Amino acid sequence: MKKEEILQLFERYILNTASPDEVKKLCHWVNNNLEISNWLENQILHSSDEIDKELQLRMFKDIKSSLQIEKPIEMPTVELKELTRPSIQRFKTWMLVASFLIFPLISGLGVYLFMSNKKVSDPSIVSVERGQKASITLPDGSKVWLNSLSKLTYSSDFNLDKRELLLDGEAYFEVAKNPKKPFVVKSNEITVEALGTAFGIKAYSEDVRVSSILMHGKVRVTTPNGINILKPNERIQYDKIKRTTQQSTVTNAIDFTGWIHNELRFENESLDEIAKNVQRIYNVEIIFASEGLKKLRYTGTVDNNSLESVLNIITLTSPISYQMDKQKVILYENKSMMKHYNRHQ
């Protein structure tokens, strides 16, 4: 068996989704094949420079010990909001180690993987911190990229009878084909169903508009207004306040996943919506000097290498200026540019 397949089986064991036969196979390999055991240990110890090597080694020994008695490892379920600051730091370390154990199936700093060992129905949650991104491979082989402040939830029986996930935030999905098990993502008044395709969803609970865009294949999108079928390079937006749905064609759908490669794509979005994106990515507070500025709209692609570069590019073509004060950004009207802007509206 290839080492990549062993890693995938190791991942399923950690996620508690491996079958009894798979657990027996893994037990046999780890306990009776010194080469495989040493290779797995090496994968863990060299997966990240940010985790203490002794801690990684101790984690591996604990897992190996659990395999020797053919008993799935137990990982704690912890509600982050209930932790004190020291406990949060210890929890971060624990979960980062756990994420590196299934390297490269889960990647990205500031990612919390909440695992449950109590009930089959208990969910697994991948939660991304502000200013971070992550990528994971689901038990069915589907790949997911998660943007800042996004949370993905799925049950431990995912891919047994169905493939269903809950999303709060923004994600890009490359779905493994399985016609017998439709891939369904539910997210803040929008549901996307696919068989085997690539699509994106942006649906933060605090945003007014939620959207989905299709790269290739076909998806069925359900909103409170009904069902829409998307074809490649089509996008659908649902306005939660106006209760309206708009389906449109874009030049290149992949542009809307530029955030994966540190690009921000805005398509006739209000400065209010753009500000929410920037706050999530750079962990800053954006203050508008006047409410009217929030309604101004912007279209363009911006490299988000730094906060200042993003602000500079947007202000070049928008009638606004900005001031920075530590973790605060104040946006105010550029009166000379506003006159020019109004003449072209």
Per-residue pLDDT reduced to its tens digit, 46-77:
554 444 455 455 555 555 555 554 443 333 33
pLDDT tier at 155, thresholds 50, 70, 90:
confident
Q: What is the mean pLDDT of the chain?
A: 76
DSSP states of 81-115 as a string?
A: GG--HHHHHHHHHHHHHHHHHTTTSEE-TTEEEE-
For the domain covering 262-343, report its CATH number: 3.55.50.30
State how far the Cα of 163 lies from the Cα of 155, in Å rounded to an integer.
9
Please say if the pLDDT value at position 339 is more than 70. Answer: no
pLDDT over 90, % of the chain: 33
pLDDT for 9: 72
Specify the CATH architecture of the domain 119-256: Sandwich (2.60)
Q: What residues does CATH 3.55.50.30 cover in the chain? A: 262-343
**What pLDDT does residue 26 have?**
72
Per-residue model confidence (pLDDT) at position 116: 38
pLDDT at 289: 92
What is the reported pLDDT for 55? 45
Instruction: With cut-offs at 50, 70 and 90, classify the pLDDT of residue 16.
Output: low
Return the pLDDT at 169.
95
Choose between 135 and 1: higher pLDDT.
135
The predicted structure's pLDDT at residue 14: 59
Task: Tell me what pLDDT residue 25 has.
Answer: 75
Location of each CATH 2.60.120.1440 domain in the chain: 119-256
Instruction: Note the pLDDT tens digit of each residue in 220-235.
Output: 999 999 999 999 999 9
pTM recorded for the entire structure:
0.63
